[in-house]
Amino acid sequence: MHQTLISAADLAAHIDDPAWVVVDCRHDLMNLDAGRGAYASGHLPGAVFADIETVLSGAKNGADGVFLGRHPLPDREVLAEALRDFGIDDTTQVVAYDAHGGMFAARLWWLLRWLGHEAVAVLDGGLAAWEAAGQPLTTEVRTRPRGALSVRAPFVPTVTVLEVLDNLESGKRIVIDARAADRYRGENETIDPVGGHIPGAKNRFFKDNLGPDGRFKDAAQLREEFSVLIDDPAAAIMQCGSGVTACHNLLALEVAGLPGAALYPGSWSEWVGDPARPVAKGAA
């Protein structure tokens, strides 16, 4: 069972295994049709496509009209239904990939663990690693038998905006922001209406989890780097712009052998939806 990362070589050995499902998670935050277009142009053999906006996220507004962020968590049963359509069962080995160093694939990895599914991994190095290994792409779209994925107790914790607010006073937990340093400081914000960060949050850009080859750094290096920020993973909260790239930091923590951190799903986009919530700018 692969539960964090998988190499292109190991995936290639199972690419036609009916007990494995490969999911293409390519996406572009500024061009919402780009991922589906890239999938149509060429994808890993047998791969299905999961859209970040419509499958791996839920409605942006709650029943009371409150803004929940740009990529709120989907309803667990609705998500499971979509994943059953991909052919995923309780025993399926799922492999998620993208062309962005795991930026979007990690979202599916985390969501499946949120549904209580253990056998899910991210293709280390993504599409580039697959092609560098001389492996093929295809435009063929295969049909798969419908799966019977169960919704079980989550393996991963979450926190609400109210818990993050309460933490401003207690300071019992460390908040880690996965966005680029300039956006964290409140500079060059082009996605959300307000720039800055949650007061007290520290910055760990998700791309710092990767080496020059686009693959994840080894466990020892990741552990050393995160230990500068985090004493106890169980007391850590991961956030980003909208709850997507925070999952990359959560994956890196698992690779490092530091499990237990929580995701703040609404992240910065939800936080600034209420002007009464405080905003900090500049370096920590």
Give SS3 for 64: coil
Which of 68, 240, 250, 258 is flagged as catalytic?
240
Q: Is 124 left (phi over 0), alpha (psi -120 to 50) or beta?
A: beta
Q: Residue 236 forms beta bridges with which residues?
A: 174
For residue 33, give every residue at least 6 positions away whose Cβ sits within 8 Å of its Cβ, in sequence order, or none: none
For residue 207, give every residue at least 6 positions away whose Cβ sits within 8 Å of its Cβ, in sequence order, or none: 101, 180
Tokens 């496509």, located at residue: 49
**Do 83 and 23 meet the contact criterion of CB atoms below 8 Å apart?**
no
Q: Which residue, 235, 236, 240, is CA-closest to 270?
A: 240
**Do 229 and 137 meet the contact criterion of CB atoms below 8 Å apart?**
no
DSSP track, 173-230: SEEEE-S-HHHHHT-S--SSSS-SB-TT-EE--GGGGB-TTSSBPPHHHHHHHHHTT-
**Do 122 and 61 meet the contact criterion of CB atoms below 8 Å apart?**
no
Q: What CA–CA distance (Å, rounded) separates 22 from 138?
A: 13
Q: Residue 138 forms beta bridges with which residues?
A: 43
Is 240 in the active site? yes
Q: What CA–CA distance (Å, rounded) separates 140 from 273?
A: 42
Active site residue ranges: 240
